[in-house]
Chains A and B, each alone.
Chain A
Amino acid sequence: MRYAILLLGAPYSHQAAHSALRFARAVIARGHHLEAVFFYREGVHNAARLASPPQDEPHLVDGWTTLNQEHGVRLEVCIAAALRRGIVDADEAARHGKQGHSVQAPFELTGLGQLVDLGLECDRLITFGA
């Protein structure tokens, strides 16, 4: 089956992000295809490249990045939800006259149309967090 994940929860404050990453690994281990993870609402904080959790805790941002590198899972971040919360890539930082940026590849800022397309094109869209 072709799966996609919609993640609405911020890392560390909500179980949603941790569960979503475990689910992603489990789906792939079962032989399914995971097309993309779409980060929306507080979920956009999963894309914060400066995240530096204590070393004895799971590093979720690195976890998503590794998932992309190993399995090609696209990491799509809602641009409207992200910019409001200071989750900004280099292009958007330049556009808005900000120094520094908080998002880098393989995370990509994209639009809500992508979420709708994922939901309609994949066999299953699984939501974590509410």
Chain B
Amino acid sequence: MSEEPNGDSGDLLVILRHGPHGTSYLKEGLDTALVAAAFGRRVSLLFMASGVAALVPGQGAGPLGQKGTQPTLAMLEMYDIDRLFVDGAGLAELGVAPESLTPEATVIEGDAIAALMAEHALVLTF
């Protein structure tokens, strides 16, 4: 499962634009990715805008009684979801260092993002 970032196409690209708190977008996007992978689809993830905050380590579930997303992110590997991409502009905007991300993700920007979308049969945005 070690595909080149811009090599073989996948079935589904899930774009995650929201951070772990405030809305359920991130959780629902990750749920969709896990379900697709469980059904044997090849899934890639792209974290954009506030979504890059999902990869910042050390976040708790918070006082609202909602489940955190870190445990789900930790399960991605078990589902063979190992093509993780993160928007460099989103990282810069939030001042997050790429090497601090958990799990690790490949930084891409600009045209590479367009190419990534084009090489997937289905793109779902959350």
Contacts and interface: CB of A to CB of B under 8 A. Distances in A.
B31 A116 contact: no
A45 to B, nearest CB: 15
Interface size class of B (residues with CB under 8 A): 10 to 19
B94 interface: no
B112 interface: no
Contact of A113 (B11, B28, B36, B121): B36
Q: Determine the main DSSP class of A at the interface with B.
A: helix
A115 B41 CA distance: 12
A111 to B, nearest CB: 7
B31 A115 contact: no
Contact of B12 (A40, A80, A120, A127): A120
A130 B35 CA distance: 20
Interface in A109-130: 111-113, 115-117, 119-120, 125, 127, 130
Interface in B32-50: 32, 35-36, 38-39, 41
A101 interface: no
A24 interface: no
Contacts of B35: 111-113, 116
A93 B12 CA distance: 33
A120 B28 contact: no
Interface in B103-121: 121
B122 A125 contact: yes
A120 B39 contact: no
18 contacts: A80-B31, A112-B31, A112-B35, A113-B35, A113-B36, A113-B38, A113-B39, A115-B124, A116-B12, A116-B39, A116-B41, A116-B122, A116-B124, A117-B39, A120-B122, A125-B122, A127-B125, A130-B125
The 6 closest A-B pairs by CB, nearest first: A119-B122, A112-B35, A116-B36, A113-B39, A113-B35, A112-B32
Interface of A: 40-41, 80-81, 111-113, 115-117, 119-120, 125, 127, 130
